[in-house]
Structure 1
Amino acid sequence: MQKKLIASKIAWNFTQANGDLTEILIYDVIADKQSYNWWTDEKGTEVTPILFKEELNKITTSKICVRINSGGGDVFAAEAIRTAIREKRQEGKKINCKIDGFCGSAAVGIAAACESIAISSSSYFMIHDPMVFAYGYYNISDFSKGQVMLEKIKQGIINAYAAKTGKDKKEISDLMTAETWYTGDEAVENGFCDELMFEEVENTIENVVNSAALDMQMYRNPPISLLNLCSPPHDSRDFSNKTPKQTKSKESENTMEIKTVDELKAAFPDLTKQIENAAAKEERERIKNIEEMAIDGYEGIVNNAKFENPIAAAEVAMKIVAEQKKQGANYLASRNADVVNSNINEVGNSSQEGVENNNGENPYDAAIDKLFPESK
């Protein structure tokens, strides 16, 4: 059945899917009021509590599906929308949620206000501590008040998340402080979502962002897989699904099998470039150190260490010392052999050896005794 458009002037429109179901698309930033562009004389497409409630009150179907692809925004605006959803549920409306690409920050609270949450396994779900944007001059008292306000806001969010997941409030607090990102599977496993969409086969890339404006600069730990899937159309902070359609099975959608260097470079070009540069720098430093300690006469060891069997300069020095000791030992052994072969050890004092008189005395000693009798 062809969808009937209820509201078309806003990006986060309401559409009636059939006679019993209306879909609410929250595909933009959540704000307390719409922005205004003075150059184009156009209002922004932010999701605001006032417009949301106006459109919500127009819905006549008994079932409502809130489809989310938003990185969040103003926490108070999100809480107002959350309250509006819960009120409609109390009136008897059946309101469920589907996460089509990304549900983060304040958008999580809106999702939690629904009766159930379904998410695709290739979508992302993120929780973090509340933040405040500060511009201007502030004193200690101002920041202290801001801290108290953020702590109270966080406690309210913790209560909502704990009620949804059944987790301990301390655990929820730690997960928020760490800025925790979940894939669809992980969000279900941790109780933030209730079920997976498309368990068998699903489109894993085209639904990731759906052209929603996501300011990724506000996040500390966005997963690399999300950044790789998104390409900036105009501003480096806005991400859009301009990638080709791909279909994968559930078993392979979250796993990338890399078997060759070329595949690694294709998958992570920036990372591999950093590794290559670091390796080249380290190799240049290694060769430089070897050349600085090289000694003439040992070029064979040096060249082998630099190119054929690469080793560190310290190992080269040890090899040279070992070679010097070996050469010294060979020299001593060769010298001893020369001495033995020359029979020099058998040669005595030829001027005196075998010279004796008839009395068995050495004539030279006798002559010395006659000249220097006192010395005897």
Structure 2
Amino acid sequence: MAAIVEDGKLRLSGYVGDYYFEDGFTSADVIVALSQIDAESELDVHLNSGGGVATEGAAIHALFTARPGVTNIIVEGIAASAASLIAMAGATVTMSAGSVMMIHDPSGYTFGNSGEHSKTIEALEALATSYARVYAAKSGKSPEECRDIMKAEHWYTPDQAVAEGFADATATGKAKTVAAFDYGLFAQAPKKLVALAKTKNWSMASVHPPEPATTTPAKDIKMATDKERADRLETEVNGLKDQVAKLTASADNAVKEALERRSAIMGLEEAKGREALAEHLFNSGNSVEAAKATLSFAPKADADAGEQEYQPPKRMMNAEGLNREPNGKPQAKGGLSARMDARAAKMKK
């Protein structure tokens, strides 16, 4: 998985969808990542992807637009194909120096009779129509103008992306190396990227050869209207919003339960004079009953020892001493306890 939460930021890199080149991210990965971030907070998403599955790109775009908090996108390296649609979810889209953005029509393949091919054309046209509306909403262009841009396959430098309305600003920071992708698949890809993919052997065929689609008898083939397509997209977006809401509620409940457990442990009579041990037992996941039993057998801190506090029993684990300063003193409150305090303070406002 290449959807990483780091210092309150979300980093997305690699293929959009199933894991090609052992590096990628799906809409499910993004849902898990967002569950670790306050939904109301401002979020910076660092994006570096050559694209991938069109429907996964649409789903991830929907997840970001459904967030109550502000979402900003920083393109590092490249945002092409499905990744460029994800970028459009940013309240602000910033292009790093040397980065690239590419917009084109979705593509696909079919194995079967004329009815099967017609279904694929219908699906691709529906996707292209939906994509064009998203690009139009960001750039201020009409959907028809964006559709022409997609058909021609356009590659943009940072300044060009800003000039066309697909980005809001450029950054002077150095761009990251572009994500692995078979750029030879694109009709108008820069020669430099095609050569890089060839040198690195970034080939879709060598990593994941396409499998023939299962043929099914054609049944009453009927072209969907724009309204029907829009209704389907709205249903998908609403479903994703419900998933985000459920995950957020689950996270809030977990935080509330942890707050209550910590309050109960620290409020125990046995915790008086043994606060450091009580805090340690909470962070270790002990229940109130288990913490009480442990505290009842532990000696209290020496009142004349000044800042010296109770030292938990030496742990024989791979992470031994991880939560202590080099001088042996406990670290300042951090980790889960600090996050619980911060969350409790926020919930009281």
Return the index of the structure with the highest Cα Rg.
1
Written as runs of structure 1 = structure 2, the 5 A alignment for 1:90-109 is: 91=68, 93-109=69-85
The 3-state SS of whatever aligns with 2:74 is strand
Written as runs of structure 1 = structure 2, the 5 A alignment for 1:29-178 is: 29-31=15-17, 33-34=18-19, 44-60=22-38, 62-88=41-67, 91=68, 93-134=69-110, 136=111, 138-178=112-152
Structure 1 distance, partners of 2:36, 2:91, is 20
Q: 1:84: how far off?
A: 1.2
Structure 2, gaps ≥5 residues long:
205-349
The 3-state SS of whatever aligns with 2:35 is helix
Change in CA separation of 1:181 and 1:234 when aligned onto 2, cut-off 3 Å = closer
Aligned pairs, number? 203
TM-score (norm 2): 0.54
Q: 1:121: how far off?
A: 3.9
**Alpha-carbon RMSD:** 2.2
Q: 1:126: how far off?
A: 0.4
Structure 2 distance, partners of 1:95, 1:131, is 28
Structure 2 distance, partners of 1:132, 1:227, is 20
1:276-315 superposed Cα distances (whole Å, 9 cap, x missing partner): xxxxxxxxxxxxxxxxxxxxxxxxxxxxxxxxxxxxxxxx
Greater Cα offset, 54-63 or 146-155: 54-63
The 3-state SS of whatever aligns with 1:133 is coil
Within the alignment, does 1:12 sit opposite 2:3 as a pair?
yes
Q: Which has the higher contact order (CA 8 A, sep 6+)?
A: 2
Instruction: Quote the residue 2:231 is aligned against.
Output: none
Q: 1:232: how far off?
A: 5.3
8 Å contact from structure 1 (residues 185, 196) kept in 2? yes
Instruction: Quote the residue 2:168 is aligned against.
Output: 194
Instruction: Quote the residue 1:235 is aligned against.
Output: 201
Structure 2 distance, partners of 1:214, 1:139, is 31
Change in CA separation of 1:34 and 1:225 when aligned onto 2, cut-off 3 Å = closer
Change in CA separation of 1:224 and 1:217 when aligned onto 2, cut-off 3 Å = closer
Change in CA separation of 1:161 and 1:234 when aligned onto 2, cut-off 3 Å = closer
- Runs of 4+ displaced beyond 2 Å: 224-228, 230-234
Structure 2 distance, partners of 1:236, 1:81, is 24
Q: 1:98: how far off?
A: 0.3
Structure 1, gaps ≥5 residues long:
1-9, 17-21, 38-43, 239-376
The 3-state SS of whatever aligns with 1:58 is coil
Change in CA separation of 1:27 and 1:236 when aligned onto 2, cut-off 3 Å = closer
Structure 1 distance, partners of 2:78, 2:154, is 13
Structure 1 distance, partners of 2:157, 2:194, is 14
Counterpart AA for 1:146: T
